[in-house]
């Protein structure tokens, strides 16, 4: 890979939905675990969801389990994060990441090779 870049952030009302996209440039996309992290002001960075290269393994943090869904399209070098039932606690800058590691290696241990510039998600009425 060469880089990753997020899109799709914005302002949404509580209870609403939003889909984030991440486009990776370069080759061997399917060799990389992809993940989504978020960081809010005054809070630690949180690995919220990761997906293995072939899409067979996924990880979700407890804070988003049941509300967020990660997916990838290896033909398009894309990874997505479908977010539903959003609350103000989900307000943060969301980053896409890539690394040749396991989903736990990325989301839990924090192994990150490529890191996007981030997209802001604000949940507010």
- The dihedral sign for the CA sequence 80, 84, 90, 92: positive
Per-residue pLDDT of the chain (125 residues; tens, 9 = 90+): 889 999 999 999 999 999 999 999 988 999 999 999 999 999 999 999 999 999 999 999 999 999 999 999 999 999 999 999 999 999 999 999 999 999 999 998 888 889 999 999 999 99
pLDDT recorded at residue 64: 98
pLDDT recorded at residue 110: 86
First to last CA, the chain: 39
pLDDT recorded at residue 1: 83
> Each residue of 83-100: pLDDT tens digit?
999 999 999 999 999 999
pLDDT recorded at residue 27: 85
């Amino acid at each position: 890979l060469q880089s990753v870049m997020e899109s799709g952030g914005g302002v949404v009302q509580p209870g609403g939905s939003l889909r984030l996209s991440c486009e990776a440039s370069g080759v061997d996309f399917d060799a990389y675990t992809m993940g989504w992290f978020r960081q809010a002001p005054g809070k630690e960075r949180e690995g919220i969801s990761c997906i293995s290269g072939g899409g067979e393994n996924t990880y979700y943090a407890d804070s988003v389990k049941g509300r967020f869904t990660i997916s990838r399209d290896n033909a398009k070098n894309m990874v997505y994060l479908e977010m539903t039932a959003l609350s103000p606690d989900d307000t943060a800058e969301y980053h896409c990441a890539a690394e040749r590691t396991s989903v736990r290696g990325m989301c839990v241990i924090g192994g990150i090779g490529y890191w996007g510039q981030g997209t802001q998600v604000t949940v507010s009425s």
